[in-house]
Structures are given as C-alpha cells and as structure tokens.
C-alpha cells in the first residue's frame, strides 16, 4: 500500500490548493472594491504591481531550483500573498516599496523555506513588518479618503505619485483633507491624540471621524467581513480562529473601555477600524502558519486578539495585526503539541 505525503494545508473537503486560493481571492474582492472606492486607484495599482512581481519572482526562484514553474505559480498562493501585502500598503506609496516587500515575501519568507507548506511565517505579514520597520514614513503616509479629500486623485495623478514623477510638494497637496490636515489611519490618529493628552471624546470630534470609526474604514471592514462570512459558508476556512480573534479583542477592549473610556478605544472601533476583519478572516486563517487542531485554533485566535489589543493600547504600532500574527505563528507548533487530539481508544493513565 502506498501513502501520499504532502505538506499543509490539509483540507477535509476535496478542494485543490488552486481552488482554495482562488476562492479566497474572490471573497476579498468586495473589500478591495470598497477600499478602492474610498482610497482611490492606488489600491488597484499596488495590487497589479505586487502580483506581477510575485509571479516573476516565484518563477525565477523555481527555475533556479530546477522545479516545475507553471504548476506551482498556477496554485495562486503567490497571487494571494501579493494581494494581501498590497492592500496593507498605503495606496500612493512609491512603487519600490511594494516591489521590495513582495520580493521579501516570496523569495525569503516563502521559497527560502521550501515553498508553500514549509514557511513558518505568514509571508505577507512578514513583509509588511519588514517594510514598516525599515520605511516607517512611507508605510504610515496614508492618503485621505476621496470623499473628504480637497483634491481627489484620478488614475493619471495616482500613477505619477506612485512612480515618482510628481514632486513632493504636489504629493503633499493631494494628501490633505477638507480641513487642510493630512490624516493617518484612524487608530494612528487616536493613538497620537491620546499621547498628546486629548481624550477619546475630543479625538472623535474631528471631521475625519464623522461616522464614528474613521471615514471609509468601517465600510472597508464590513466588506472584508462579508467576504469572510462567504469563505465560512464555502468551508474554505474554519470559524474557530476568526471567532476567537474577534471575541478576545472585543472582551479585552470592552474591559479597557469600561475602566477608562477617556483613554481606551471602544470595542466597536477596535473591530471596525484598521486591519481587523481582513486580518481575522484572510490572514490569521492561513492553514500553513496557524494551529491545526480545533482547540489549537481557538487558542491561536484568542492569542492574536489579545496581542492586537495589547499592542494597539500599550505599544508603538497602532494597528498591530501583523505583529500579532507573526508572534502567534511562532507559537503555533507549541500550541499544536500541547493540545493535540487524544488517540482514539486511548485512556489517560494507561
């Protein structure tokens, strides 16, 4: 009798990796569409650039390793990694930023460890953290949502901004909102205001928080939540990690807000700002780098939720999802080892 050995992801349903990745990408389309509506053509340009670099880099590495190129790149894993990294990068960030990040994700984090199923870290999040630490100014210079921007950017201006044919002064003009002030992400804005001695109430009175969550970000998170629910329905992912992340984040932020509402972000804003929903459904659920048992997935997800809250509240990085996922990736083998299911028929003590 012959046994076939294969690397994770291992799925109970009879779906090929190519099909799973394609479904995840399709479920991310609503979030990408809403993100593009609020933040402009730059979102789509960064995705196209990242996907092109990812496919070229993976093909080159596979050729150097004397591996079949087409069957591997057609599994869509490199495309998904590129998309997740691209939507996390500011839409009008310079082109070289996404190129460096994508090369790092595909060549060093994925292929250096042997390819899909062998990497210990989520490639997109490892690349994001590398870029954030190396290029903090470029990685935190988010553009103003188009609905409140003084000068919304069309496709031509977006291409000029990304590929460097626009001067710094011109670029700064397009980063200004209707109040004449360049806006960071909502969580970053709140964190800065709290550090300056303002209360949550005072911070949320700014025009950028007209909807209570940061203009555009609530709807972006709702769109990714919708895509995540579709993935659950299609059984592409399992519910434990996402539910544990959102549940633990909600509980921690509720306690913090009840204890000190003037200095803590409320639970709803924690859930519907930043990368919460895309992180909970599209990133943390990566079967290669997450825990695999049922109890392990619950612990893994809860750990990410707690880490996100702790880093957002007490750390120096407002969003924190990438750091939380990478730290949980390190813990995944440890979690699986100690919560592995008991062998059928085994009795404790015998």
Q: Report yes or no: 107 and 57 within 8 Å, Cβ to Cβ.
A: yes
Residue 299 has what pLDDT?
95
135: tokens are 């290029």
Residue 14 has what pLDDT?
57
Q: Report yes or no: 153 and 161 within 8 Å, Cβ to Cβ.
A: yes
Residue 67 has what pLDDT?
84
341: Cβ–Cβ under 8 A, 6 or more apart, which residues?
Answer: 293, 294
Residue 12 has what pLDDT?
52
- Report d(CA 33, CA 220) in Å as an integer: 9
- Report d(CA 121, CA 289) in Å as an integer: 6
Residue 346 has what pLDDT?
57
pLDDT one digit per residue (tens) for the chain, 350 residues = 555 555 555 555 556 778 888 999 999 999 999 999 988 899 999 999 999 999 999 999 998 888 888 888 888 899 999 999 999 999 888 999 999 999 999 999 988 888 777 888 899 999 999 999 999 888 887 777 776 666 677 788 888 888 876 666 666 665 654 444 445 677 877 888 888 888 888 777 776 676 667 778 889 999 999 999 999 999 999 999 999 999 999 999 999 999 988 888 889 888 998 889 999 999 999 888 888 888 999 999 999 999 999 998 888 887 889 999 999 999 998 898 888 766 655 565 54
Strand partners, 176: 182
Residue 261 has what pLDDT?
85
Residue 180 has what pLDDT?
43
- 95-103 vs 123-134: helix axis angle to the nearest 10? 130
């Amino acid at each position: 009798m012959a046994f076939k050995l294969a690397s994770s992801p291992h799925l109970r349903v009879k779906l090929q990796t190519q099909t799973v990745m394609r479904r995840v990408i399709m479920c991310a389309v609503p979030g990408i569409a809403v993100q593009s509506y609020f933040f402009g053509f730059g979102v789509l340009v960064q995705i196209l650039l990242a996907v092109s670099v990812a496919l070229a880099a993976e093909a080159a590495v596979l050729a150097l390793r004397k591996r079949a190129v087409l069957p591997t790149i057609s599994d869509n894993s490199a495309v998904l990694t590129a998309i997740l990294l691209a939507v996390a990068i500011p839409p009008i960030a310079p082109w070289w930023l996404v190129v460096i990040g994508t090369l790092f994700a595909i060549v060093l984090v994925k292929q250096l460890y042997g390819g899909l199923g062998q990497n210990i870290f989520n490639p997109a999040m490892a690349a994001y953290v590398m870029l954030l630490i190396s290029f903090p100014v470029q990685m935190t210079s988010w553009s103003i949502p188009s609905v409140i921007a003084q000068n919304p950017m069309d496709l031509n201006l977006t291409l000029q901004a990304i590929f460097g044919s626009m001067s710094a002064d011109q670029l700064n003009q397009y980063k200004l909102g209707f109040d004449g002030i360049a806006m960071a992400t909502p969580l970053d804005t709140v964190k800065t205001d709290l550090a300056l001695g303002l209360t949550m109430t005072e911070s949320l009175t700014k025009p950028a928080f007209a909807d209570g969550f940061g203009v555009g970000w609530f709807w972006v998170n709702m769109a990714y939540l919708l895509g995540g629910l579709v993935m659950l329905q299609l059984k592409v992912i399992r519910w434990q990690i996402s539910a544990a992340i959102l549940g633990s984040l909600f509980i921690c932020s509720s306690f913090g807000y009840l204890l000190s509402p003037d200095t803590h972000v409320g639970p709803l804003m924690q859930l519907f700002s930043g990368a919460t929903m895309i992180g909970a459904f599209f990133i943390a659920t990566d079967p290669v780098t997450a825990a695999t048992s049922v109890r392990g997935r619950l612990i893994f997800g809860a750990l990410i939720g707690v880490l996100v809250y702790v880093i957002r509240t007490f750390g120096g990085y407002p969003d924190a999802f990438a750091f939380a996922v990478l730290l949980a990736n390190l813990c995944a083998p440890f979690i699986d080892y100690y919560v592995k299911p008991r062998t059928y028929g085994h009795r404790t003590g015998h």
